[in-house]
Amino acid sequence: MKLEELENANRLFETYGFALSPQQSEVLELHLAFGLQAAEIAENKGISKQAVSKILKTALAKLGKMENNLRFLAFQDKIKQEIIDLSILAKQKNLAQIETNLQNILKEL
């Protein structure tokens, strides 16, 4: 898993992990938080490597589907960018544009 994919998987897990089964949650945590590979998890849990791979794939797909439906992380990213943009405008003392941006944010909420 590439670094960007790993970071995204961690964000998904932190946000939507509550929706996973206990087994999915445990296996995904071992993979993401402790960096264990499927073979290591399989040995640790006493199940096959294929079963672990399937659990990981299913869990990540479930988390991705939740984000696709709810869009919470996308919204969070958008708000973070809006704050950065407002900070830049504040440094430039562009009060009219700050007011416009704030009104637009309020409309989206």
* pLDDT for the residue numbered 14: 97
**Are residues 78 and 66 part of one domain?**
no
Confidence of residue 42 (pLDDT cuts 50, 70, 90): very high
CB 63 within 8 A of CB 21: no
Give the Cβ contact number of residue 41 at 10 Å: 23
Nearest to 105, CA basis, from 90, 83, 87, 89: 83
pLDDT tens across 79-99, in order? Answer: 999 999 999 988 898 898 999
Domains: count for the chain: 2
Whether 48 and 100 share a structural domain: no
Q: Mean pLDDT of all residues in the chain?
A: 94
Task: Tell me how crowded residue 83 is: count the other CB atoms within 10 A of its CB.
Answer: 12
CATH number of the domain that 41 lies in?
A: 1.10.10.10
- Note whether 66 and 97 are same-domain residues: no
Mean pLDDT, residues 29-58 taken together: 97
pLDDT tier for residue 45 given thresholds of 50, 70 and 90: very high
Residues 99 and 50 in one domain: no
Question: 19 falls in which pLDDT band (50, 70, 90)?
Answer: very high
Task: For residue 98, give its domain range.
Answer: 74-108
Instruction: Give the mean model confidence (pLDDT) for residues 40-45.
Output: 96
Asked if pLDDT for residue 35 goes beyond 90, the answer is: yes
pLDDT of 32 over the 90 cut: yes
Residues 43 and 95 in one domain: no
